[in-house]
Chains A and B, each alone.
Chain A
Amino acid sequence: MTLSWSDLKIGDNLPPYTAGPLTRTHFVRYAGASGDFNPLHHDETFARAIGLDNVIAHGMLIMGIAGEAVSTWIDVKHLKKLSARFLSMTAPVDWDDPENTTKRATIVITAKIVKIYEEERVKMIKADIVAKDLQGSRKLDGYFLAAFP
């Protein structure tokens, strides 16, 4: 589904996008794709050595998931800006304890239209984005700007 300009109103919530639960395999795949092999994201012994209980997701993986969410709402060739602040760490699901770890590893991206305007005769929207896990912990906030030709 892509949005059309005429249907949009300030305050509209875009359809939530859910991803996960994130696994260690997802982290390894993202490490290979992006080239970010910080061991913090795949080597539990390294994570423990710096005081964490688990490996954690790349912040940029969460932003990448947000980018995927945006591409379900608009055609990405109309994306003008994507901006994110990283707010908290994301641990993966533990396959030996999925009941207690699935929620922390499942990411929901939501967005709300905050501005509708024209810039140099181009119709634009600004939408605020939030990523949270299913426990309500905020992972990322930010916004995107998109043009409607």
Chain B
Amino acid sequence: MDTSKVGFEFPAYTLVVDKTKIAEFAAAVSLKDNLSAINPIYYDENAAHKAGYRTIPAPPTFMTSFFFWTGDGLAEIVNALGMDISKVLHSEEEYEYLGQIYAGDSITRKMKVVEIYERGKKERAGMFVTVAVLETVVTNQRGETVGKVRSLMMER
């Protein structure tokens, strides 16, 4: 890993949150095969209203999809940091919720490399890793910060 990349800022990427994508994601994490089996707040505007949402909300871990469906996804992160993809593990993920993400929102993600550190002893094979800490600020079309993401990528 290229440890000189601390402070590197990735380009900002914007995408519109598709209602169908929310339902698909909700089905995937609830291990359901069809829409009628998932929590109705994730596909039915009326159910979302009744539950106190402006419209269909995004599920708790939905922000992960912004990384893969914008820019060059994981490849862009791996290339920017000079990591070997076959040795990379995602080791931690943290979401801070500062607002609600809804279907139809235009979401911008801005990611930065905030820290790179080494852990373990070099002479012990398999026990030495390099860790990159990535922080992302997620804003909506009104410029409101709706979430912050902290991701740790580890290279064995």
Question: CA of A85 to CA of B74 in the docked complex: distance in angstroms?
Answer: 19
The answer to whether the Cβ of B97 comes within 8 Å of any Cβ in the partner chain is yes
Question: CA of A32 to CA of B96 in the docked complex: distance in angstroms?
Answer: 24
CB-CB < 8 A to A38: which residues of B? 74
Q: Is the CB–CB distance between A83 and B60 below 8 Å?
A: no
Q: Is the CB–CB distance between B53 and A77 below 8 Å?
A: yes
- Dominant SS at the B interface? mixed
CB-CB < 8 A to A3: which residues of B? none
Instruction: Name which of A4-12, A60-68, A120-128 contacts chain B.
Output: A60-68
Interface of chain A residues 29 through 55 with chain B (CB within 8 A): 29-30, 32-38, 50
Interface of chain A residues 59 through 95 with chain B (CB within 8 A): 59-61, 63-65, 67-68, 70-71, 75-77, 79-86
- With A71-B39, A77-B52 as given contacts, are A35 and B86 in contact (CB-CB < 8 Å)? no
Interface size on A, residues (CB 8 A): 36
Residue in contact with A83 in the complex, picked from B64, B68, B89, B95, CB distance below 8 Å:
B95
Question: CA of A19 to CA of B30 in the docked complex: distance in angstroms?
Answer: 8
Residue of A30, A35, A70 contacting most chain B CB atoms (<10 Å):
A35
Q: Is the CB–CB distance between B28 and A33 below 8 Å?
A: yes
What is the size category of the interface that chain B forms with chain A? Answer: 20 to 34
CB-CB < 8 A to B28: which residues of A? 26, 29-30, 32-34, 61, 64
Residue in contact with B95 in the complex, picked from A32, A82, A85, CB distance below 8 Å:
A82
Question: CA of A35 to CA of B53 in the docked complex: distance in angstroms?
Answer: 26
The answer to whether the Cβ of B24 comes within 8 Å of any Cβ in the partner chain is yes
The answer to whether the Cβ of A113 comes within 8 Å of any Cβ in the partner chain is no
Residue in contact with A33 in the complex, picked from B21, B51, B67, B97, CB distance below 8 Å:
B21
Q: Is the CB–CB distance between B100 and A77 below 8 Å?
A: yes
Interface of chain B residues 96 through 155 with chain A (CB within 8 A): 96-97, 100
Question: CA of A29 to CA of B30 in the docked complex: distance in angstroms?
Answer: 11
